[in-house]
Structure 1
Amino acid sequence: MLSSACRLAAALALTVAAALPGDAAAQARPSRATEPISREQALVTFDSAWRRIGATHYDSAMRGVNWNAVRDSLRPKAEQASTLGALRETIGAMLTTLGESHFVLIPQEAADAIDPELSRRDPAAAPGDAGLTLRLIGDTVVVTAVRPQSPGARAGVQPGWIVDSVGRFGAARARRTIAESRSLTRQQLVAMIPQGAAAQFAGTAGSSVNAVFTDHEGHRREIELVREPLAGVPVRFGNLPTMFVEVAHEVRPLPTGGCAGVIRLSAWMLPATAALDSAVDAVRHCKGVVIDLRGNPGGVGGMVMGFGGHFLDSVVTLGEMKTRGNRLRFVANPRRADVAGRRVSPFAGPLAIVSDSLSMSTSEIFAAGMQAVGRARLFGENTPGLALPAVLLRLPTGDVLMHVFADFTDPNGRRIEGVGAVPDVPVPLTRANLLRGIDAPLEEALAWIAGSGG
């Protein structure tokens, strides 16, 4: 699986932006929804999408969906569509009948914003942000982390603050807009809301954005933030926008003695491999290790095999990917050498994985696989179950169809799609904990390691 959920994350955020009024989508072109469309173009576009899905879906029986009946029901509506927006609604209804993630129609005005060629036109325009991490708690967009020395940190923004608006993005209005969509699953909507807000904090480094927050005392704070270059290593992969991948590690002392290593990975991309290997070596002496995958949208699925081998003493299958004609097992082999080539044993101490509602795709595969083979204990929130490998197709209208071509199951044959990785120790994210400076999921994982024998 190659970065399907990364594509999904970018696509969902930009699709929200394209649907919002005003200039909420700083990178997207004006909406084409009201643009007239001919009967011929509407039909050829609908038929292109219907045929491609039918020909490439991993299950020839379409998981019980009568695909011919779907065409017969919706094709007349496509034929009657007089605007591009009406056609998009019809194709979205077709995708909804499948009931799975990674079936998304991305408007051209949003798709062009993630087209690699578009960003190459202005290589001097470095992307930036304000250093804020956002999540949805209940029905509210909340700051869950502030990067040290970032624009947000210097402005005094703190975890637990509510994002009321940013740029011309209003959180309440965005939620209503998303809730009315007929072409997106609930899991996609949950991911979209904070990502749509986060997209407004992003922009060209050096540019500014106005944001309104509710602080810890309930006061309204209007702040202008000047974006700074994104942290991490820039990575471009296929149709994805440039991503900035970070690998970080720290050693945390345990109250019972010894230490726990904490490794954080922002995305499963190949340039992160060496840094991940070095991070494991740096915490190998600790009693236990925590892998923090919160907010990690996925990436290159095959990386779970190499990384998993650091924690497995025998050959283990972490799951299986199934296409219409083939099956691929994700087999992890023990890693018995460090980055310097010295012989080591795979790490055998307690292993915890922390996840949340934005730990997607490859992150879900790794977490569910390591849990299923009994090697790791999961803490935090249920992952969203957005785990299907997908590819992109440019349609005659210029819109882009994201469609699934494979399924994935864990080592026990359980589908991850729609279910996700279920934590052994559920630890919900709460604003109260954030305002007190408590990272409850991580603290629970560290407490488990401290209390483990050995």
Structure 2
Amino acid sequence: MPRSRSAALIAALCLSGVTSAGAGTTGFYRQPAIKGEQIYLVAEGDLWRVGTQGGDAQRLTTHNGLESQPAVSPDGQWLAFTGQYDGGTELYLMPAAGGVPKRLTWEGGGMRVWGFSSAGEVLYTGLDARPGSQLFAIDMKTGQRRALPVGQASDGALSADGKTLYFTRSGLRGDNARQYRGGAIARLWSLDLANRAEAQPLVAEGNNDRRPMPYRADGADGAERIAFLSDRDGTVNLWSVDAKGADPRQHTTYKGWDIRHAAADGSRVVYALGADLYVIDLAKRDAARKLDIALGGDFDQMRERWIKKPQDFLTDTAFAPNGERVLLTARGHLATQGVQQLRRAELPQPVDGRCRKGEFSADNKQVFAFCDFSGEMEVWRFAANGTGKPERITHGAPNATVTQRRELLPSPDGRWLAHSDKEGRIWLTDLKAPAPANTREIARGLLDEPRLHGWSPDGQALAWSMPLRHPDRHQLQLYNMAQGSTHTLTTDRYDSGAAAFSPDGQWLYFASNRNFATTGNPSPWGDRNTGPFFGFRSKLYALALQPGLRSPFAPKDELESATEKKADEQRAEDKKATDKNPTERKPDDKEKKPDAKAGAAKPTIQFEGVAARLHELPVPAGNYRALRVDGKRLWFLDQDLDRKTQLKSIAIDNQGGPADILASDVRDYGLSADGKKLMVVRNQAAGAAPEVLIVEAAPKLPTDLSKLQVRWTDWQIATQPRAEWKQMFADAWRMHRDHFYDSAMHGVDWLAMRAKYEPLVDRLTDRFELAELMAQMVGELGALHSQVAPGDIRPAPEEPGLAGLGARFSRAPDGWRIDAIYAADPELPAEASPLAAPSVGLKVGDVITTVNGRPTADAPHLLELLRGQAGRQVLIEARQAGRSVLRIVTPVAQTRENQLRYNDWRFSRARAVEAAGQGRIGYVHLRAMGAADIADFVREFYAATDRDGLIIDVRYNNGGNIDSWILEKLLRRAWAFWQPRSPGGAGVYANMQNVYRGHTVVLMNEDTYSDGETFAEGFKRLKLGPVIGKRSSGAGVWLSDGNRLIDNGIMRAAESGQVDAEGRFLIEGIGVTPDIEVDNPPRATAMGQDAQLDAALAELKRRIAAEPVKEVKPGPYLRPVRP
């Protein structure tokens, strides 16, 4: 690329939608490869070939799955790539001109193709016995695979003579962050394969340098140089150095547009920039040349598509006040539907629009929803029967920033709409006033988003809850419509919400977390009693909205009986008087309670003193939410400890009966305005559509539900992919604008970023390309936790999944030899490999010769014969010590196989520590920071509380949110000791119970991420011991992970930064710096060494020797003082 070209010209070239190459379509080109006069590329999820001068491209693959990452053999005859022909992503080989693909790997995904060796082996990274990626070479003829002797290699290339391996250590593997400088920064290394010397850095640390491409600077006999991609000038450009890492040369000088993918053939390099491909000859030092490429074909993924399983995209449900219809929101579309054969009314909207949180109006004739038809999420109004055009109700946020809108609540009188937003504000929109003056802000939360609960029956009060002082404790508030005032009903001592008004306007029911009775063992004594657990915190309460009301749940007493008798006598007198004067009775007069008629005048709420008129309901504690009241019963959702949700109700009386369970596995429910009908949405089996019912508001479901089901699973939604892609791009941009923790967007002009990348949407041909485009855009913010993943992609045909035996194999003359059986804790048989089961009895070195009677010798891989067999008994024949044996084994699914492989590495560390520490040092490895990991911590940490030393290994930790639990346990101290009478001579035990008194170190590396880093930083700052290893990734800004696009695609945004007591941001973009820096050298690591673990052991031994854990010996027993 000429150095004089401006960024604006580059952008113009990237955005060009017109091509001179034939009459085809200009696409979005990715992952190019080059050989001779041919370039191979990825577009529309397929592989294509085009000449180095551009022109009309030829499609090489047509499979529905994704084919990507092409690499060409040295002779130009073969193309290696990853594909999904057989289900998961694997490595394939096909003739470069096109042909039938041949499968090379059986690994279940996780690989990337990088090129070929001069001997014809395919170089790729995949999974191995160690965590992280491993560089492999696989023979394209025999399928024999060998691991190259380097650890932590994320890509690689061999020199022309095959004697030197150039590779990249680390680098971001999922995040999108330009100019990243955290611990996982990519760096080029080289390894001399001719000797046993350790690999050496090729370039200095401090920049992201990756994708080495060796070439001869002056032809075949010239000196070797290594081209690579680097962001050392702020933008990813093409650079080169000599074989010793000296003489750096910059070959492109782009500003603002990063080179994304590159591949070389000798000194010629093809690379992707924006949506286009460029070719440059580094030896000639020519300017880069943009290729005009046209794609031909039917572009099936750009045609209108029908979504035939809307249940996969269902986001919201709402119930009509008259109890006749349900409002469904799926794939951003709205439809109303009744039971049985009633017509489904699909509400009209633009093809590039998305709607959320729809609600019916009080008269059932209209629907309100948040929709982005204007470019922002505004409130729109639709006719509920699907006729007419939608009408925009709101126009931005008066005197405030525009942001994501959250909840919507129409008033029962049809006049008002209450709605909330991401900034914690509550808005009130007058439906009878013109926009934009129709909307005003009525409340603002200080710490989190508010929750709208409901209107009073007459629409004169609105209930919500929001945190006012503590982020985890919502306080219940009432808004007085007449006075425009807000009244706080609960304190910040407890989390309160889920409020609902009684139909007579006398009571406000709500749930509050005020119960702290322990669940399970209430004592700190006992093995692994880590602390009290309060599993059922919610209680139900009622506030009397007028003074003097008696709770309908209050037990009968003599005063109530006298009052009821007097009321009965008065009603009898009134009836007698009416009977004497029948003309005073109106024709439609019927005996009924005065408040039963809908719309009857309701008593005025007496706000003064309302918080003191609190009553607790006689209902056991639970986990309650979503209260509704029909006058006779109080309805609510209750979640058990297994997170299963039931819809329950209690009679509003003083009989004290238990709650009735209407339904289980409930996803949502609603109550009609007259309290007579219920909408119940309950989950079905995995993959099945939720069941939607409209039933009578009775304690139990009827036996026959066939006529009460809402027929919605036959709903089919027509979509226009390119219009959806535009909507999703805009939505992704808005999500980051509204969720990113820094409202100044790290100083990036976010509007300019949209203008920069959005035109490229017109170049897209499939959903993967949209994900890559959005990744480029969010990468401008330079933050981690910025992963992007496609949602609804073109499905590949379902094939039988891989299954494994928890072992590694290699080919033998008569079958497949067992090279290793993954080890696990022998005291946990359920964690063992299938081949390690006592009933199997196979060992390393045995050869499996048949699977279910089929010979394995001719199979391309043993796992081919195990496809579809996960969880099923399989008969294998094996050669063991010269004899043939038959065994029944049960293979496991690929995900479980991966876990077994990882656990083998973890268990090997634990065994090494046990041996080296001679039983005095414990070991805990945390793979992540979630529910399974706290279980691992409890299992391993408390088993080591009597040790003198402890290693907590958070290398490769993927993050989560349990750091505080672990740090709290490590902070516990023994301040006293119990000495029981012990004839057997048992020693003392500590108070605090289950406390650890020894020395502790933490192991961390470049792949320690997110909460793994927070734990390491907290360990350092709390001075619990040294952190050993390498600087961590730098993902210090956390997120709620709730952002989902219209097709369920992931668009993560970093939301919550972390600062120290002085206000300095922690971890983000830099990582946690170890107290003792120790690297695991690439070659030594590949050979099985673990220098970091060795350093941790040495440090603990030093500390134990210098400051041994003091043995506590009780002194003389106390004796009474006698005179």
TM-score tier (shorter): 0.5 to 0.7
* Equivalent residues of 1:385, 1:418 under 8 A apart: yes
Aligned to 2:959: 298
| Alignment partners' CA distance in 1, 2:778 and 2:756 | 13
With over 3 angstroms needed to count, the CA separation of the structure-2 counterparts of 1:246 and 1:285, relative to structure 1, is same
Which one of the candidate residues 1005, 1009, 1020 is aligned to 1:360? 1009
Instruction: From 219, 244, 252, give the equivalent of 2:914.
Output: 252
Q: 2:83 aligns with which of 2, 22, 25?
A: 22
Structure 2 distance, partners of 1:350, 1:82, is 58
Per-residue displacement from partner, 1:325-345 (whole Å, max 9, x unpaired)?
A: xxxxxxxxx9x99xx997437
Q: Pick from 745, 762, 781: which aligns with 1:62?
A: 745
8 Å contact from structure 2 (residues 805, 891) kept in 1: yes
Residue 1098 of structure 2 is matched in structure 1 by: 447
Instruction: Provide the C-alpha distance between the structure 2 equivalents of 1:247 and 1:148, rounded to a whole number of angstroms.
Output: 9
Aligned length: 324
Q: Specify the alignment match of 1:418 in structure 2.
A: 1069
Aligned position for 2:1051: 401
Structure 2 runs not aligned, ≥5 long: 1-65, 70-81, 91-298, 303-719, 809-819, 825-832, 837-842, 846-859, 861-866, 873-889, 979-988, 1108-1123
Change (3 A) 1:277 1:399: closer
Shift of 1:55: 1.2
**Deviation (angstroms), 1:439:** 2.1
Structure 2 CA distance for aligned equivalents of residues 379 and 152 of structure 1 = 36
Please give the root-mean-square deviation of Cα atoms over the aligned residues, in Å.
5.0
Map of 1:6 onto structure 2 = none
Q: Cα 1:70–1:298, aligned 2, differ >3 Å: closer, same or farther?
A: same
Report the AA paired with residue 440 of structure 1.
A
Q: Indicate the SS of the match to 1:419.
A: coil
User: Matched residues in 2 for 1:356 and 1:372: separation?
Assistant: 18
1:95 aligns to what?
A: 778
Question: Residue 1002 of structure 2 aligns to a residue in which SS?
Answer: strand
Instruction: Name the counterpart of 1:49.
Output: 732
Give the match for residue 308 of structure 1.
967
Report which of the two has the higher share of helix: 1
> Contact 2:768–2:790 at 8 Å: present in 1 too?
no
Q: 1:298 to 1:128 in 2, by over 3 A?
A: farther
What is the CA–CA distance in structure 2 between the aligned matches of 1:231 and 1:104, rounded to whole Å?
21
Distance change (3 Å), C-alpha of 1:436 and 1:271 = closer
Aligned position for 2:1027? 378
* Corresponding residue number in structure 1 for 2:993: 344
Deviation (angstroms), 1:38: 5.4
User: Is 1:77 matched up with 2:77?
Assistant: no
Matched, 1:265 2:531: no
TM-score, reference length from structure 1: 0.57
Which has the larger displacement, 345-354 or 281-290? 345-354
Higher relative contact order (CA 8 A, sep 6+): 1
**In structure 2, do the counterparts of structure 1 residues 93 and 313 end up closer, same or farther at CA, with 3 Å as the change threshold?**
same
Give the whole-Å Cα distance in 1 for the aligned partners of 2:868 and 2:1083: 30
Alignment-mate amino acid for residue 362 of structure 1: D
Contact 2:834/2:892, CA 8 A, preserved across alignment: yes
Match of 1:10 in 2: none
- Scaled by the length of structure 2, the TM-score of the pair is 0.25
Aligned residue runs from structure 1 range 132-143, under 5 A = none
Change (3 A) 1:432 1:403: same
Choose which of 929, 936, 947 in structure 2 pairs with 1:286: 947
The Cα of 1:304 is off from its aligned counterpart by: 1.5
Counterpart code for 2:787: V
- The 10-residue stretch of structure 1 (43-52 or 349-358) with the greater mean CA deviation from structure 2: 349-358
Q: Aligned in 2, Cα 1:274/1:227: closer, same or farther, shift over 3 Å?
A: closer
SS in 2 for 1:94: helix
Is 1:148 matched up with 2:847? no
2:1044 and 2:1028 map into 1 onto residues whose CA distance is 39
User: What one-letter code is carried by the residue in structure 1 that aligns with 2:1004?
Assistant: S
Alignment check: 8 A CA contact 1:18 1:25 kept: no
Segment of structure 1 superposing worse, 400-409 or 355-364: 400-409
Tell whether the 8 Å contact from 1:247 to 1:272 is kept in structure 2 after alignment. no
Q: Decide which of 777, 780, 788 is 1:105's aligned counterpart.
A: 788
Q: What does the per-residue CA deviation read over 1:294-326, in whole Å, with 9 as the maximum and x for residues that have no partner?
A: 222122x1x211211222258xxxxxxxxxxxx
Contact 2:1030–2:1078, Cα closer than 8 Å, also in 1: yes
Aligned residue for 1:286, secondary structure, equals coil
Structure-2 separation of matches of 1:58 and 1:203? 45
- Using the alignment, how far apart are the partners of 2:753 and 2:1060 within structure 1? 30
Give distance in 1, aligned partners of 2:947 and 2:1053: 43
Deviation of 1:253 after TM superposition, in Å, equals: 5.9
- 2:1073 is aligned with 1:438: no
Residue pair 1:39, 1:80 contacting (<8 A) in 2 also? no
- CA deviation vs aligned residue, 1:63-101 (integer Å, no higher than 9, x gap): 211212212222233255455455334322211111112
CA 73–445 in structure 1, closer or farther in 2 if over 3 Å, else same: same
Q: Distance in 2 between matches of 1:344 and 1:384?
A: 35
**Secondary structure, counterpart of 1:375 in structure 2:** coil
Q: Residue type matched to 1:252 in 2?
A: E
Q: Counterparts of 2:1075 and 2:746 in 1: how far apart (Å)?
A: 29
CA distance in 2, matches of 1:109, 1:155: 43
Secondary structure, aligned partner of 2:1009? coil
Q: Which amino acid aligns with 1:403?
A: A
Displacement of 1:352 after TM fit? 0.8
Q: Deviations over 1:23-78 (max 9, x none)?
A: 2894479xxx9832655333212111111111111121112112122122222332
Task: Evaluate the alpha carbon distance shift between residue 86 and residue 313 of structure 1 in structure 2; reply closer, same or farther with a 3 A threshold.
Answer: closer
Find the aligned partners of 2:998 and 2:785 in 1 and give their Cα distance.
Answer: 36
1:451, distance to aligned residue in structure 2 (A) = 0.8
Distance 2:805 2:794 in 1: 21
Alignment partners' CA distance in 2, 1:203 and 1:434? 35
Mapped to 1, the partners of 2:1043 and 2:1074 lie a distance apart of: 35
2:1020·2:1026 contact (CA, 8 Å) conserved in 1?
A: yes
Larger strand proportion of the pair: 2
Structure 1 residue 109: deviation in Å?
6.0
Long gaps (5+) in structure 1 = 1-16, 114-120, 133-144, 157-167, 169-201, 208-225, 236-242, 315-333
How much has 1:350 moved relative to structure 2?
Answer: 2.1
Q: 1:50 to 1:84 in 2, by over 3 A?
A: same
State whether residues 247 and 266 of structure 1, in contact with CA within 8 Å, keep that contact through their aligned partners in structure 2.
no
Find the residue that maps to 2:741 and give its secondary structure.
coil
* Residues 431 and 451 of structure 1: CA distance in aligned 2, closer, same or farther (over 3 Å): same
SS at structure 2 position matched to 1:280: helix
**1:129–1:203 contact (8 Å) kept in structure 2:** no
Q: What does residue 35 of structure 1 align with?
A: 301
3-state secondary structure, aligned to 2:921: strand
Give CA deviations for 1:186-229 in whole Å, capped at 9, x if unaligned: xxxxxxxxxxxxxxxx997489xxxxxxxxxxxxxxxxxx9646
